Amino acid sequence: MIDRYSHPEMAGIWTLENKYRIWLDVEIAVCDAWNRRKVIPDEDLKAIKEKADFNVTEILEIESRVHHDVIAFLTNVRDQIGPAGRWIHYGMTSSDVGDTALCMQLVQSADLLLGRLDALLEVVKGLAQKYRNQPMVGRTHGIHGEPTTLGLKFAHFYAELMRDRDRLQQARKQIAVGKLSGAVGTFSNINPDLEEEVCQALGLEAEPVATQVINRDRHAFFASVCGIIAGGLDRMANEIRLLQKSEGREVEEPFAKGQKGSSAMPHKRNPVVCERICGLARVVQSNVQVAYRDMPLWHERDISHSSAERVILPDICIGLDYILERMIFVLSGLHVYPENMERTLNVTRGLIYSQRLMLTLIDAGMLRDDA
């Protein structure tokens, strides 16, 4: 995601620095487990923990020659450690560290997104309570239907966001897994008990059955949930955009002092933040389709998913984080115009009460078609 639509904390999760830091955490956790099994001597483990580090620039330079990012990383780390570095990556394959670390990045992202959702829920709940008795016209197909309240609109959003929160918690649980089952997933050099021990130390569950990789249904589910949340934010932003139209101006997103709406029409107060939310929701949702296409890998693995995931997973998480924060901003400073809502209620001169009148006539004995 471009810097313009990124917040530092979420973007930081998806930097090379953080990715390699997690890779190193995984590698050291495995070394710890081997040490407890008397495979790695105490003095070598001590050297690993004291000296293990990496340099992103050097890794990229090595990768430009070997064309393999994990090998480049391991080479750089071993250079920092010295002779004891031979134990780094012992019994493992590239996806053991890469897939486990990727899941940890997604867990970190999920935690940030859950925090954003909680903050948004509080704002929406407050608006639902504040405007529970504020009448306005309800519309179906864009046409005036019957009276509703602004508070009820926000209650709808609140209920949907609560479902979003439940779904995201489920997605976090499903993605919080690791695997150390080695090449083709047969535990040929690492025992399942070591995998479980390491995963537990990293705050993960061990993947019950893996190939050489963690199956991508987990990643697709995570992406799907993010797409659903983005769709809900799109709906909320669209509602504000429609209610801000000049014909009604029932609500309005914040407009800062000195802010400009148009280079040609200085009177314009456009819902640009809501429009940005709608646009970026499309970006998030379009990437979900790619996550679905990453599921059918060849046999025990290929890396057709890898290039796609390096683009879509950061963009999904960073993009969703951004539009969640922007929706909090919009709703926290939302302008509400009760007088315009009440004026709009009367635009059809009472036609919005037609159902009540029809039922009264039916109660009096008239046929529905005649009423």
pLDDT, one tens digit per residue, over 8-23 is 999 999 999 999 999 9
Question: What is the helix (H) or strand (E) element at residue 146, kind and residue range?
Answer: strand 143-149
- Say if residue 26 is in the same domain as residue 114: no
Query: What pTM did the predictor assign?
Result: 0.93
222: containing domain: 93-176+212-253+268-363
- Say if residue 230 is in the same domain as residue 352: yes
| CATH number of residue 11's parent domain | 1.10.275.10
In a domain, 223, yes or no: yes
Q: What angle do CA 160, 157, 236 make, to 5 degrees?
A: 115
Q: What angle do CA 70, 308, 324 make, to 5 degrees?
A: 110
pLDDT in tens, 90-119: 999 999 999 999 999 999 999 999 999 999
- Rounded Cα gap, residues 332 and 324, in angstroms: 12
- Say if residue 168 is in the same domain as residue 82: no
Question: Mean per-residue pLDDT for 249-274?
Answer: 76
Domain end position, chosen among 65, 90, 115: 90
In the predicted model, is pLDDT for residue 226 greater than 90? yes
In a domain, 105, yes or no: yes
- Say if residue 222 is in the same domain as residue 286: yes
Strands 177-178 and 205-206: parallel
In the predicted model, is pLDDT for residue 261 greater than 80? no
- Say if residue 4 is in the same domain as residue 124: no
Mean pLDDT of the chain, nearest integer: 95
Burial (0-12, 13-18, 19+ Cβ within 10 Å), 337: middle
In a domain, 206, yes or no: no
Residues serving a catalytic function are 141, 262
Position 264 confidence tier, pLDDT thresholds 50, 70, 90: low
- Say if residue 140 is in the same domain as residue 286: yes
- Say if residue 35 is in the same domain as residue 117: no
C-alpha neighbours within 13 Å on the C-beta side of residue 153: 23
List the structure tokens of 142: 């864009």
- Say if residue 133 is in the same domain as residue 222: yes
In a domain, 185, yes or no: no
In a domain, 263, yes or no: no
Domain end position, chosen among 90, 120, 146: 90
- Say if residue 110 is in the same domain as residue 219: yes
- Say if residue 288 is in the same domain as residue 159: yes
The total number of residues shown for the chain amounts to 371
In a domain, 195, yes or no: no
In a domain, 194, yes or no: no
pLDDT in tens, 317-366: 999 999 999 999 999 999 999 999 999 999 989 888 888 888 888 888 88
- Rounded Cα gap, residues 141 and 31, in angstroms: 62
pLDDT in tens, 121-158: 999 999 999 999 999 999 999 999 999 999 999 999 99
Higher pLDDT, 268 or 330: 330
The sign one gets for the Cα dihedral 78, 80, 84, 87 is negative
- Say if residue 246 is in the same domain as residue 141: yes
- Rounded Cα gap, residues 315 and 319, in angstroms: 5
What confidence score (pLDDT) does residue 368 get? 87
Higher pLDDT, 40 or 361: 40
* Count of the separate structural domains present in the chain: 2
| CATH number of residue 295's parent domain | 1.20.200.10
- Say if residue 59 is in the same domain as residue 104: no
Domain end position, chosen among 90, 118, 139: 90
